[in-house]
Amino acid sequence: EDQVTQSPEALRLQEGESSSLNCSYTVSGLRGLFWYRQDPGKGPEFLFTLYSAGEEKEKERLKATLTKKESFLHITAPKPEDSATYLCAVFDRGSTLGRLYFGRGTQLTVWP
Amino acid sequence: EADIYQTPRYLVIGTGKKITLECSQTMGHDKMYWYQQDPGMELHLIHYSYGVNSTEKGDLSSESTVSRIRTEHFPLTLESARPSHTSQYLCASSDRRLAEKETQYFGPGTRLLVL
């Protein structure tokens, strides 16, 4: 049973072409939603944590938003260096303390 | 930036060998985790620890063991490596005392190839 679904699986953008990545979740009680960036051959790098519907956080060209059923990672005017896999994870209130459930990620490619 | 280290970064080993993947963190975090990640797939939790002498199994733990004798150190051991163990292994840590609770910080990973 998938608890975290990310779409699209892959996204190709031209430099400067803004877009959004989606993360939908089905956990019963959300205690946190996390966005990570992962470059090939490396560990995930933490980007944002969102705790409640309506919350938004920004970092450079990235903006994360949260509703009761999904989160969006908006990328404004992306650059080639934004190319990476973006992972979403949720912390379920009903889960054992400390467990995150990850999606499969969206592989973003930004070409010049 | 998180200070969490994994060694080795790459390992090629024969079937049946015993291996230990090392993970250490210098942030004093109380919780530590091991994940397995295959290309294009989600991270799967193998083991986790709430603190010293506390370890729990995750989803894919049946063929590996962990120990947490010191806060900063959380090694993962495969008693008998098999080709099915070929994967990337990621270590992470978190701290409930931090403002952004449950945020996990990851190491660079160990890429394992079992021949």
- The single-letter DSSP state of residue A96 is P
| B51 close to B71: Cβ distance less than 8 angstroms | yes
CB B57 within 8 A of CB B44: no
Q: What is the mean pLDDT of chain B?
A: 91
Using CA atoms, how far residue A19 sits from A12, A13, A80, B64, in Å, is 10, 8, 14, 41
A5, A34, A36, A46, best to mutate vs chain B, most B CBs in 10 Å: A46
> Residue holding tokens 């005017």?
A77
Range ranked top by mean pLDDT from B42-46, B54-58, B92-96, B110-114: B110-114
Q: B102-115, pLDDT tens digit by residue?
A: 789 999 999 999 99
Q: How confident is the model at residue A2 (pLDDT cuts 50, 70, 90)?
A: low
- Which member of B41, B90, B103 has the closest CB to residue A43? B90
| SS3 label, residue B83 | helix
Q: What is the pLDDT of residues A87-105, one digit of tens each?
A: 999 987 665 555 788 999 9
Q: Kindly state the percentage of chain A with pLDDT values over 90.
A: 77
Looking at residue B9, what DSSP letter applies?
S
Record the tokens describing residue B72, joined without a space: 């900063």
The alpha carbon of residue A16 is apart from the nearest alpha carbon of chain B, in Å, by 26
Residue (of A19, A38, A15) closest to A88 by Cα position: A38
User: Can you tell me the mean pLDDT for A45-49?
Assistant: 95
